[in-house]
A and B are shown apart, each in its own frame.
Chain A
Amino acid sequence: MPEADIDHTVLKNLLASVGHDEAFFQVLVSTYLEDTPEQLAAMQQAVDSADPDQFRRAAHSLKSNSSNFGAHNLAEISKELEEFGRSGTLMGVAPRLIQAEAEFQKVQRELESLLSRGVSSL
């Protein structure tokens, strides 16, 4: 399985920024992993109801979260999705959205594996 290339430096910085509170770090990661499917679903819904604003907001959220957790690829894709939303038209967004979903699968796997290995493995 191709790696999601989670940037461990970013994760280490994040951990440091919360004072190496591992329990809190885990909560953060879990929240991200729960939140992302919601954002993806919101984007899908936005496509269905032709709502570029809602689409843009969800993409924006996903972008910033993914950056926070070192998921740069997903962040990049989210940035492009945000552009779609900003442009006002969601035409042709479907392939990108599928790509985001696929990328998230990888991110999820890697982060979950990381959590199970323990934060100190960073």
Chain B
Amino acid sequence: MNANKAAAGHILAVDDNKVNRLLLSRALQELGYTFELAENGRQALAMVRQQAFDAMLLDIVMPVMDGYQVLEYLKGDPALRQLPVIVISAVDDLDSVIRCIEMGAEDYLPKPFNPLLLKARLGASLEKKKLHDLEKAYLEQEMRLQTSEKLASIGRLSAGMAHELNNPAAATQRGALQLGKALHDHRSASMELLARPLEPPQIEALTSLERRIAAAVAQPAVLDPMQRSDLESELEDWLEAFSVTQAWELAPTLAAMFHSRDDLSQLESSFPRERIPPVTAWLASLAVLYELSASISQGAERIGRIVNALKSYTNLDQAPLQEVDLNECLDSTLAILEYRLEGVEINKEYGSLPRVPAYPLELNQVWLHLLDNALDALQGKGSVTLRTRWEDPAAVVEVEDTGPGIPQELQHRIFTPFFTTKPPGQGVGLGLSSSWNIVVNKHRGEMAFSSSNGYTRFQVRLPRQEFPD
């Protein structure tokens, strides 16, 4: 027998009875199948290992290895499990047939077999197998898509992270570099100041000014440029009046700490004229130290926050199903997108929510997509409102933006995979479709939206009940 595959299929017919084999070959030939014949179970198994078959016709009662044993073997082997098996059996042997079907046979053909019935049953089995193969291919494809979307997500995340970390990292580094010089400057100023012993009232004046400096660094005053410039000039004049060298350098630093010349005037009453220059130099260098310290500290704190947000964002796929605080999830997603929030007003209207069972990593992808889309629509101006509330038995999360809205004619398509209005290179169009999938299929929730000119709101409902998966 040649093993060329015909369009109809390649069948293995197993029967120990010569007459049956003749009839089977004849029928299979008529139906346009190519086939091989086997006399017993052992031969049959040897052949399935050597050739690929689309289906097997299997007699039950055979010597050496019977139909049951063949079935058991086939269904126990992952590589062979999918092969459809139709058992051929005498009609009064229904118990055997039932047993075979319980063992995984797909159908049965009564003996003496009817060629029309063979055609129908074989056709049906092959069709079913084809559908099964298609479904498998589709699921594999979908998994690949999900993986690539996840990777794209992670890619965007990393880019955002790098961007976000850049500034605080640079600020911290600059601060650290300048710290050495600032310490040196302050030491020199201190030495000069302490060349003459200080009287109690003088120490008190300096202490009080230092406190002002510390407060000013902790909560910087906001002056408009005009006011700031005026103050600097005023201080510069005051410093020059006391022959302070490089008054123009000290003036800005002091202007940042003190709101008016009057704050410094108390120095005039506490110190003799010739001591003013070292005192102001000391104050200024102290101010610089405080400023640098704050700057380094802020930078480091910001870096820490970003790293934490990333950790909380990505570490969550360790434990698949968790009780999740949705408000926290939203905040952590916002933290990730902070670099894009400039100019955009963020309103948070968080309700009190119980923890909800969910897959945090996937849910965060949903919030990321929704926020991403909102920010894209806003183009740096307008506002985003995040709303959460409990509507028993579900948590409701809303992401609303004041962007131009989704055009009416496109609204029915937005959840379609690969649908996007972004230019090429800016998004594949899987964000909303995969979000919908995560909410509806993975979390048994609901996702809806409404949009018109100047307003778009996405709503996600997450039920609290336990769900399988």
Distance A31 CA – B21 CA, assembled complex (angstroms): 11
Using CB atoms, name the residue of chain A closest to B92: A79
Binds B, one of A16-24, A89-97, A100-108, A109-117: A16-24
B22 near A64 (CB under 8 angstroms)? no
- Minimum Cβ distance to chain B for residue A114 (Å): 16
Distance A99 CA – B244 CA, assembled complex (angstroms): 137
Q: A57: CB under 8 A from chain B?
A: yes
Q: A56: CB under 8 A from chain B?
A: yes
Q: Which residues of B contact A61 (CB under 8 A)?
A: 16-17, 61
Give B100-128 interface residues, CB cut-off 8 Å to A. 111-112, 114-115
Using CB atoms, name the residue of chain B closest to A54: B63
- Minimum Cβ distance to chain A for residue B21 (Å): 9
> Which label, helix, strand, loop or mixed, suits the secondary structure of the A interface?
helix
With contact pairs A17-B114, A64-B111, A68-B112 given, residues A57 and B63 touching in the complex (Cβ less than 8 Å): yes
B90 near A65 (CB under 8 angstroms)? no
Q: B99: CB under 8 A from chain A?
A: no
- Minimum Cβ distance to chain B for residue A94 (Å): 23
One digit per residue, 1 when the CB lies within 8 angstroms of any chain B CB and 0 when it does not, for chain A 1-42 equals 000000000000010011101001001100110110000000
- Minimum Cβ distance to chain A for residue B293 (Å): 93
Distance A31 CA – B114 CA, assembled complex (angstroms): 19
B17 near A64 (CB under 8 angstroms)? yes
Distance A19 CA – B26 CA, assembled complex (angstroms): 10
Q: A72: CB under 8 A from chain B?
A: no
- Minimum Cβ distance to chain B for residue A49 (Å): 14
Using CB atoms, name the residue of chain A closest to B89: A64
- Minimum Cβ distance to chain B for residue A19 (Å): 7
- Minimum Cβ distance to chain A for residue B315 (Å): 62
Distance A112 CA – B22 CA, assembled complex (angstroms): 19
B18 near A57 (CB under 8 angstroms)? no
Provide a sorted-by-A list of 18 A–B residue pairs whose CB atoms are within 8 angstroms. Answer: A14-B112, A17-B27, A19-B30, A28-B22, A31-B18, A31-B22, A35-B17, A35-B19, A56-B61, A61-B16, A61-B17, A61-B61, A63-B90, A64-B17, A64-B90, A67-B90, A68-B111, A79-B92
